[in-house]
Each structure stands twice: as C-alpha cells, then as structure tokens.
Amino acid sequence: MSRSNEYIKKFASGEIGAPVGEFTKEIDMSTIGSTESVDVFDEFSWAAQVISCQVVSVGLAGTLNGTVDLRQSNDGTNYDTIGSTQTALNSANASNTVEKSSFSGKYLGALITKGGITGGVIKLIFIVKHH
C-alpha cells in the first residue's frame, strides 16, 4: 500500500444513488500518539444521506485493542462520535466496513484510538452517497 492520501470528488451533481465523494487515507500506527483524528475538510457530505468507511488493517502488531469511530461536525472544528459506528482493531490483517444512514453532519471524520498497537497500517476508505 502507498502511504499517500487521496481525495476524489465524484458525481458532484449528486444524482441519486451516485457517490458524492470518496476519501482514502493510510495511517502508520507506529507514528501516531494515543489517538489520531482523520477529518475530511470538504463539504462533500452536505447532500449525503449514507456514509460508509471501510477500515483495513495490515500487519498490526502489539496488543490489538484499538478502535476506529466515525465522527461528524457542522463547524469543521468540533467533532462528535456518530452512534453505533465503531469498529475494533483486534486482528493483524482485517477489513470491516461501518456505515450510517441519515447522516446529518456537514463534515465527516474518524477517530483512531491506538490502544496497545505498536505497528502496522490502517487504511480508511470513506464513501458518501445520496440516499
């Protein structure tokens, strides 16, 4: 996996069912503190109703007890956790997609809690769609 971040805005017209935007970010778990915020600073989610984030872990090491929580914000500064959108980082190599319908925020993000993880990579793949 490359270590670059990529943001792609697709179908800006917002046709029903078409993705509004995609955002991919990879995080080297050995370089972050106890938590890491991943915030998408684009208003691509304004017209969105459904959000999803695929969390891919590759080569995680240490005590595998971390988490990833989806978050939202209206001001782009203060983020709140979106209910029932947490995934556990409890396997060295895994993939899990969490989603939320009825998304009501303006900005989307995620909070990674490292726990006892000492190495490996987490890849977050966000997709935002109209309902």
pLDDT, position 16: 54
* Percent of the chain that is helix, strand, coil (3-state, to 5): 0, 60, 35
Report the chain (131 residues): mean pLDDT per 10 consecutive residues: 48 55 91 94 69 96 97 90 93 95 85 98 89 55
pLDDT, position 3: 40
- What distance lies between CA 94 and its chain's CA centroid? 15
Q: Which residues, 6+ apart, have CB-to-CB distance to 24 below 8 Å? A: 5, 6, 7, 123, 124, 125, 126
pLDDT, position 8: 54
Domains of the chain in sequence order: 6-129 (2.60.120.380)
pLDDT, position 22: 82
* Spatial distance between the Cα atoms of 52 and 101, rounded to a whole number of angstroms: 9
User: Hunting for tokens 């600073």 — which residue is that?
Assistant: 41
pLDDT, position 9: 52
pLDDT, position 104: 81
